[in-house]
Amino acid sequence: MELDLELLRSKGITTIAFDMDLTAVRQHSWGRLHRNELGAYLEKTSEDFKAIVPQLLDTHGFNIAICTRSDTAQYNANKDIHPDTHIVGDELVNEVLKHAGFAEEIRKKIFVIGYNHKAHGDEGLKEKNLLKRRHIRKVCQHFEVTPREILLFDDEQENVDDCERLGVFCVKIDPEQGFLFSDFPFR
């Protein structure tokens, strides 16, 4: 599929952010995946996600971020989640990126923000940390961009609506399908 990335650039987009569950991967980890379920989860990685990310990064020079609610703080917040039995946060994202076939130099360029506000006590309940607000703030800081320079793909309408209020250009993903080329605006 031919994407009009120059048109995307003309809209001021410099950074593409993907939610992980039900977007980059067509399955839900619920932010914490039992290690014995990892293989089945990885098999649900979107083929279109696998194809587009290296192209966006290396060929076209966009910044790439993964914004997930999977968070290592969950190990401390939930006694039933343990590193020996569950995989979360950056480790889970890195497994997805490796399974997608991304070379190490590609994986190093992808900014990962894993944050589950429920695992952070009172700090997580602050307005600035709810939904994907913290994720967007951290993406802006990391890449030195404004929210208006970000295109976010997410399966949750609540996240899409909230991020649009922040100025982020958002695309709602069908959670049954995960990310598809046809979701990309300006084709």
Q: Tell me, what's the pLDDT at 31?
A: 84
Q: Is 127 exposed, middle or buried (0-12, 13-18, 19+ CB in 10 A)?
A: exposed
Q: Tell me, what's the pLDDT at 186?
A: 64
Grouped pLDDT means (10 residues each) for the chain, 187 residues: 76 96 95 95 97 91 96 87 94 97 96 94 90 97 98 97 97 95 77
Q: Is 122 exposed, middle or buried (0-12, 13-18, 19+ CB in 10 A)?
A: exposed
Name the pTM for this structure: 0.94
- Joined together, the tokens standing for residue 163 give 């991020």
Q: Which residue has the tokens 């076939």?
A: 101
Residue pLDDT, tens place only, 26-40 = 999 988 899 999 999
CA 153, CA 117: separation in Å to the nearest integer? 20
Least Cα distance to 110 among 88, 71, 139, 85 occurs for 139
